[in-house]
Amino acid sequence: MHVKNLELKNYRNYSSLSLNLNKGLNIFVGENAQGKTNIVESIYYLSGVKSHRTSRDSELIKWDKDRAYIKADVVKAISDYTMEFLLSNEEKKAIKVNGIRINKISEVLGTVNVVIFSPEDLKLVKEGPAFRRKFIDNELNQIRPKYHHALLQYNRVLMQRNNLLKSIKFSPSNRITAEVFSEQLAEYGSFLCDARNEFIKKLSLIARLIHRKITNGKEELEIIYDCSIGKYKNKQETKKWLLKYYIEEMDTDIERGVTLKGPHRDDLIIKINGFDTKIYGSQGQQRTAALSLKLSEIEIIKSEVSEYPILILDDVMSELDLNRQKFLLESLKDVQTILTCTSLNDINAFHFDNKDVFIVKNGNISKLKDINNNEIYNS
């Protein structure tokens, strides 16, 4: 799949933009704060109906405007899609696919698949569990629309249960209501754990193979699902365990004022040659493991939807050494790639037959080959 055309109106620093994209490599070159990441952000928005930088749509709207508009023509193997998003400061966002109004975000998920790799993703190994849970959730939201619904419901019930836990000391009668929420939490939680377990099995297999190639067989990568309730068995057993915990250990949760067990406490353990990479891995090993995980995302989506997703590389190349850059670029021949960098010197190693280079300056975009003709895509 690939984005053929992107249109933006009053989006971030773009008043009006219509941009034709190459189905191969698209390189956006410019200094910081010129609008490069705004382009990739709008493309990422197509997949999850959200930004990877903020949870508030209002921040995507040009500062002096009330509305923003994103439109993209997407080419897929089985069909073409026109996706439209109208963002407003005053109303709920409006979504259309091929001119048909979509009322639920879950109905859009999976139409476009996007994998993004940014400097923040290099923290995937060495930072806290929240980074790794977000990595898992973002992937599953794209390939399992029911997962997105279950995750939303789980987080909603979790918040309600936590609020009740804090109130039970002063209102003991709320304990009965908390038990009702415990049943719902166990139901949604067991679904999430089951989906994560299946996903991590695939992730571990693919990432291991990719990591072997990057390290020329010198390192063995292992990805382990660190389920907060212990070793995962199956959905039914997980539901029983969660419900038993939520009921029998409620006093412990009341004392702490939070729910101590469940998918919101899950993590990944990432090992290289048997050692925990977060604790014992060098910075180079941690970055290689992160790269293996992100490239595994691409392959998992390919196995699920039978075509490659769109890949975004946002200012990440300068963070990788030449060996990792080479491996990454050689892996992208069949993938539409949107790449940002700060200097023309950064693109000398990109030997792609099918590529376009765009210069970004103050929200204006021009093709490198057309600079002398002053062909401006946006002004």
Q: Mark the binding-site residues for ATP, compressed into ranges.
A: 30-37
Distances (CA, A) of 347 to 25, 29, 300: 11, 9, 28
Q: Are strands 25-29 and 355-361 parallel, antiparallel or unpaired?
A: parallel
C-alpha span between 236 and 358 (Å, rounded): 52
Which three-class secondary structure state does DSSP give residue 19? strand
CA angle (241, 247, 248) in 5-degree steps? 85
C-alpha span between 15 and 161 (Å, rounded): 44
The pair of three-digit structure tokens given for residue 131, joined into one six-digit string: 């980074």
Question: How does DSSP assign 182-193, residue by residue?
Answer: HHHHHHHHHHHH
C-alpha span between 60 and 112 (Å, rounded): 20
The DSSP code for 147 is: H
Cβ atoms of 262 and 185 closer than 8 Å: yes
Question: How does DSSP assign 242-296, residue by residue?
Answer: HHHHHHHTHHHHHHHTS--SSGGG-EEEEEETTEEHHHH--HHHHHHHHHHHHHH
Paired residues of 73 in beta bridges: 5, 82
Per the annotation, binding residues are: 30-37
- Least Cα distance to 287 among 93, 125, 115, 58 occurs for 125
CA atoms within 13 A on the CB side of 353: 2
The DSSP code for 334 is: T
Cite the beta strand spans of the chain per DSSP E.
Answer: 2-11, 14-20, 25-29, 67-75, 80-88, 94-97, 100-102, 114-117, 221-226, 267-272, 275-276, 310-314, 337-341, 355-361, 364-367
C-alpha span between 194 and 140 (Å, rounded): 12
